[in-house]
Structure 1
Amino acid sequence: MLRSTYYRKIQLSFIILILLPIVTVSIISYLLNRNASMENIELTNKSILQLMEKDIEGTISDLAYASLIFVENDLLKPYYKHYAELSHINNYEDYKVYNGIESLLKLVSFKASPNHIHLFIANEQGMIIATPGFFDQGKDIGQLKEHWRQIRSNENLTNSGHFQWLGAVSSDRYPEKFFYGTRAIRESGTGRTLAVLNIGISENYFSELFKPFPNGKFGLFNSDGELFAGSEEVKLQPAADAATSIRSKASIPIVDWDLVFETPKQDVVGQLTRTFYISGMIIGISMLLFLLLSMVLARRLHKPIHKLQRIAFQFGSGNRSMRFLVSGDDEINDLGRTLNQMLDQIEELIANINREQDEKRRMELHTLANQIRPHFLLNTLNAIKISLIMQSDSLHSEKINSLITLLRNYLRMDEPSTLREECEVLRHYVSLMEMRSDMSIGLNMDYSEDAGSVLIPKLLLQPLVENAIVHGFVERDNHSAIALDAQILSQHLIIAITDNGAGMTEESLAMMNDRLHEETIEESEGFDQIGLRNILKRTRLIYGPEAAMWLVSNKDAGITVYLSFPILESDKLPEVENDV
Structure 2
Amino acid sequence: MNWKKKLNSVFSGWKLLLFVLISLLSLCLVALQGYLLSKQSTQTIETQVNQMISDNMDSLSVNITNDLSYMDDFARTLSNNADLINTFKLDPAERKVMTEEWMKAFSEYYRLRLPLNIQVLLNPDELYAYPSLNVWEEHEIRTIVSSFPWFDQRVSLDNDYLHWNVTADFHTNSSSGASSNALYVSKNIIRDNRSLGLLVIEMNGSLIERLLNRAQIHAQNAVFIVSGEGQLLFRNENMLKPLQEDAELFSTATQILKRGDDHGTQNISWAGSPYYLIYKQISSTPWTMFSLIPMYSFHSDSMNIWHTTAITTAISVVLIAAFFCVLYLKVTLPIAQLSRIVRKAGQGQTPETYAYKGFKEIETLNRGIFRFFEQIQEQFQTIKRGENEKRKLELHRLQEQMRPHFWHNSLNSLRFLAVLNGDNQMAEAILSLTRMLDYTLRNTDVLYSTLEEEKDYAMSFVRFQEIRSMQQIRVNLELDERAMQAQIPKFTLQLILENSIMHGFAAPFDKEPWIRVVAETEDELLILRITDNGNGMDQATLQRLFQPERKQHRARRSSGLSLINLQQRFRLEYGSGFGIRVASEHGQFTEVTMTLPLMTTDNEQERGPI
The alignment's TM-score, normalised by the length of structure 2, stands at 0.40
Greater gyration radius: 2
The alignment's TM-score, normalised by the length of structure 1, stands at 0.41
